[in-house]
Structure 1
Amino acid sequence: MPVAPKRIIKEIRSLRHKKFRQEKQAYFAEGIAIVLSALENQAPVQYVIYSPELLRSETAYEAISEARAVSRAMRLAPKRSCPYPDAITLWVSVR
């Protein structure tokens, strides 16, 4: 399972700013419900970035497995602990 390169993380973080969203014609979505909805509705998802340590939902795990099969999912390398221990985060960059 590939780790998300710093380049991709920087690109996703840049989408916080309207200027970059307009320039790249992309946005990012965060959270299980919206990410699963994007994947289920076959949105043009560019990346799915997730933390395996926080992935507890069976449905989310299955969606990540499917996304990995088409090389869109990358795990987030752990750097620090999450300030919200029960939080589950999935990011998706959509074009």
Structure 2
Amino acid sequence: MLIVLVLFVAGVGLLLLGVHKLHAAVPTCYGKPMSPGDVCEPHTTGSFSEGMPGPQTSTYREQLDNLTSGGWTAIVIGAVLLALAVVLAISFTASTLRERGD
């Protein structure tokens, strides 16, 4: 039953983390907050080696999408862990009831 508790706590934690990340996301450009319409220009120092992509500009929307995608990932994984905890709890309960009935 300990695994059910661990899965439940992890699932709830990930759900809360994901929701917080979606609501608190503020895109930044080199540590400075961005606002809609801003474009983050890369700072280039030195040369880039063969095959390595060079830095690219990114818009406010692109930065925000990068931040919030992690929030959605945490929410989905948290929901899966909660569903798994419920399935395991039902399974453990059913097997315990069967053992007591025999």
Same fold (TM over 0.5): no
- More strand per residue: 1
State which structure, 1 or 2, has the greater radius of gyration over its C-alpha atoms: 2
TM-score, normalisation: structure 1: 0.24
- More helix per residue: 2
TM-score, normalisation: structure 2: 0.23
